[in-house]
Structure 1
Amino acid sequence: MTNDAVHRVEIAANQHRLRVIHGGITLADTWRGLTLMETGEPVVFYFPREDVNMSRFERSDHTTRCPYKGVATHFHLLTEEEGKVENAAWSYEAPLGAAARVKGYVAFYPSLVDRIDQTS
């Protein structure tokens, strides 16, 4: 949790199977995911990098900065059908304080992949 009394970042182990599917291909599949809940933001699922098919991703020059989580490195999704889906995923290489647990994890923009599933 952050020290800011108004803004909260909470991370919990996700007890469900999480998968990311795009173009009929499973890009990520884990039972070891994390759920990040942040004030004013939708819930985000984070996948351990070992459970992501990183051969389908290319590091982007694009970064974003969150005052609570740090600098996010982005990745392009490489597909056979669509070509490059720009900045479809991100990762915090050196997350700040409350976000430290997501180091080594990857998250995906739901609008840029076909599905992010959470099942039992």
Structure 2
Amino acid sequence: MPQDILEQAGTPDHPITVERAPGRVTLSAKGTKLAETADALILREGRYPPTYYIPKSTLPKDLLEQASKVTHCPYKGDATHWKATLADGQGIDPIAWSYENPIQGMTSIQGYLGFYISAFDGVFDPPPQ
């Protein structure tokens, strides 16, 4: 059951909903805690699995570096992609994406990052549902 729906967009065949995640969310990668927040969002899009978006400001300032890749979503806008270097020097490329200037109807995700969990051994606690 959705907690607090912030925005709904998309089409009947490809609905998108952004809601507040209930409680605290922690993101870890390679055994290292990267972020913890009570301000996570859950984006539900079409048939994709739910995705946490967490505030970019909750990650260490020196963790992320903008990658050259930019993609476009007709429902959210242009996505900036990010890579990371962990404290032990391990690189993760790509790690995340963000919509720096999302289109009207998806502005709640501005300033937030979505993560490529399948691209690294990252885990969210609790997993998005």
Same fold by TM-score, threshold 0.5 exceeded? yes
How big is each residue's C-alpha offset from its partner over 1:91-120, in whole Å with a ceiling of 9 and x where there is no partner? 11011133210000111111224312128x
State yes or no: 1:18 paired with 2:11. Answer: no
The equivalent of 1:4 in structure 2 is: 11
TM-score if structure 1 supplies the norm length?
0.88
* CA distance 1:83–1:44, shift in 2 (3 Å): same
Distance in 1, matches of 2:16 and 2:46, equals: 7
User: Deviation of residue 40 (structure 1)?
Assistant: 1.6
* CA distance 1:27–1:3, shift in 2 (3 Å): closer
> Out of 108, 122, 125, which is 1:117 matched to?
125
User: Deviation of residue 80 (structure 1)?
Assistant: 4.8
Q: Comparing both chains, which one has the higher relative contact order based on Cα–Cα distances under 8 Å and sequence gaps of 6 or more?
A: 1
The answer as to whether partners of 1:9 and 1:98 remain within 8 angstroms in 2 is: no
Q: What is the aligned length?
A: 119
The equivalent of 1:95 in structure 2 is: 102
Which runs of no fewer than 5 residues in structure 2 stay unpaired? 1-7
**1:1-120 correspondence runs (5 A):** 1-2=8-9, 4-81=11-88, 83-111=90-118, 112-118=120-126
How well do the aligned residues superpose, as a CA RMSD in angstroms? 1.8
The answer as to whether partners of 1:59 and 1:74 remain within 8 angstroms in 2 is: yes
* CA distance 1:55–1:80, shift in 2 (3 Å): closer
When structure 1 is superposed on structure 2, of 70-79 and 110-119 the one drifting more is 110-119
How big is each residue's C-alpha offset from its partner over 1:50-81, in whole Å with a ceiling of 9 and x where there is no partner? 21223111110111111111111111110255
Which runs of no fewer than 5 residues in structure 1 stay unpaired? none
Moved over 6 A (4+): none
Identity of aligned residues (%): 29
The answer as to whether partners of 2:10 and 2:16 remain within 8 angstroms in 1 is: no
How big is each residue's C-alpha offset from its partner over 1:2-35, in whole Å with a ceiling of 9 and x where there is no partner? 2523221100011221111112221111001100
